[in-house]
Structure 1
């Protein structure tokens, strides 16, 4: 997946700034609320414990970041990183309503060039963000770099059904996504872009291969909702 130029990156960043205030309600409408179920199922598979350190990339409005912070407790550490200041502002407002602020940091940054030392985190996650970065392979390499030996990478992302009977219905639904989004967010074109990134992103099997190509071992994936979403996991060799 080729890296875009700086102008394109700035446009995508501006897009996420624009949709930040309505992102949660629009996401609920588009996914029929299923994104919460997918994240819950994902949390059941991540080997995170009290006192651990986790990094949540493309953290957006902070839902997954807060879930992680609840598990690691006051002796642990969670960092949520996103390139959109307005998304982070929403996440910070959510965080203030919890008891997890002491163990949680929210920072603006580039997922392709992480400001962390090698072997820093027990778990690195990315939820519905990998398809929107300029270079997904570079992000996976950075995730592996900052992961401690034996740690896990977890990626929750929209996917494409492999069942040929399901695919036409999935395709039709995602064609309607911008129209659904317009009910919550007045710029339909923003969600045309997000619909296109979903359709153009790699299939689940290809993403598993990308995990393996970055050196992540025991790579596997689980699909949800007939393949409309997939959880990929991989580990850094000890």
Structure 2
């Protein structure tokens, strides 16, 4: 059982919310999470014949987008610990134009089942904060990246503008859990937990510093929606 720092079984939690996950993502972010991924990928470099892994791939939206963006000889692996999320993702992969390029597997982002220096690109979208030990997860990402490979982290963040932050806290702390109760068959507790992981996760500057300490280079950061999300790019 994979426990979060708040002693929550996150695997069971994501299995439970899987049926409503895509719908809730669209509601909570007002659809902007898709635009964020597209903007992130415009700044990525896709080598010919690349090996890409998308960690915490969930229902495979980013894995499919990466397959679409890359050349025909690239392969994309999507890894997640939730079998229910992967089952939904597999259905989406099967009806996509890229089923021959994408492989979904169940696994632990903190103990990746791959050799050192395997991937040209590692991505993780809105999943790092749910790892019981994010630093260990980042160390694993460093290990499986090839020298010169790219790491891309898209994650919720905390606005630091004193005028914006109270509204952000109200939305994530009060409104989002209610959305879970109304639109996700009463899952108030689960979406309250997701709010707490966002609020308690390291800020974007600390994450950038952590990447440098692990050994990543050329760390750059962009922020979206007044700081509600941030993307970190880094090179091994």
> In which range does the TM-score fall when normalised by the shorter chain?
over 0.9
Matching residue of 1:202: 202
Runs of 4+ aligned structure 1 residues displaced above 2 Å come to: 3-9, 71-74
Task: For residue 44 of structure 1, report the CA deviation from its aligned partner.
Answer: 0.6
Matching residue of 2:28: 30
Matching residue of 1:193: 193
Matching residue of 1:136: 134
Structure 2 counterpart of 1:98, from 92, 96, 99: 96
Which whole-Å CA distance do the structure 1 matches of 2:6 and 2:205 have between them?
A: 31
The alignment partner of 1:162 has SS state of coil
The alignment partner of 2:180 has SS state of helix
Matching residue of 1:153: 151
Cα separation, partners in 2 of 1:192 and 1:5, compared to 1, 3 Å: closer
The answer (yes or no) to whether the contact 1:13–1:83 under 8 Å persists in 2 is: yes
Between Structure 1 and Structure 2, how many residues are aligned? 233
Task: For residue 103 of structure 1, report the CA deviation from its aligned partner.
Answer: 1.5
Asked if 1:214 is matched to 2:214, the reply is yes
Task: For residue 49 of structure 1, report the CA deviation from its aligned partner.
Answer: 3.5
Task: For residue 6 of structure 1, report the CA deviation from its aligned partner.
Answer: 11
Which whole-Å CA distance do the structure 1 matches of 2:219 and 2:6 have between them?
A: 34
Matching residue of 1:182: 181
Cα separation, partners in 2 of 1:93 and 1:200, compared to 1, 3 Å: same
The answer (yes or no) to whether the contact 1:73–1:103 under 8 Å persists in 2 is: no
Task: For residue 71 of structure 1, report the CA deviation from its aligned partner.
Answer: 2.7
Matching residue of 1:83: 81
Task: For residue 90 of structure 1, report the CA deviation from its aligned partner.
Answer: 0.5
Task: For residue 5 of structure 1, report the CA deviation from its aligned partner.
Answer: 7.4
Matching residue of 1:64: 62
The alignment partner of 1:202 has SS state of coil
Which whole-Å CA distance do the structure 1 matches of 2:4 and 2:47 have between them?
A: 39
Matching residue of 1:234: 234
The alignment partner of 1:234 has SS state of strand
The answer (yes or no) to whether the contact 1:49–1:71 under 8 Å persists in 2 is: no
Which whole-Å CA distance do the structure 2 matches of 1:7 and 1:35 have between them?
A: 25
Which whole-Å CA distance do the structure 1 matches of 2:103 and 2:6 have between them?
A: 28
Cα separation, partners in 2 of 1:181 and 1:206, compared to 1, 3 Å: same
Asked if 1:171 is matched to 2:148, the reply is no
- Comparing 211-220 with 180-189, greater Cα deviation is found at 180-189
Which whole-Å CA distance do the structure 1 matches of 2:180 and 2:26 have between them?
A: 10
Cα separation, partners in 2 of 1:5 and 1:161, compared to 1, 3 Å: closer
The answer (yes or no) to whether the contact 1:157–1:230 under 8 Å persists in 2 is: yes
Q: Deviations over 1:171-208 (max 9, x none)?
A: 11111110022222121111010010000001110110
Q: What root-mean-square deviation, in Å, do the aligned CA atoms of Structure 1 and Structure 2 show? A: 1.6
Unaligned runs of 5+ in 2: none
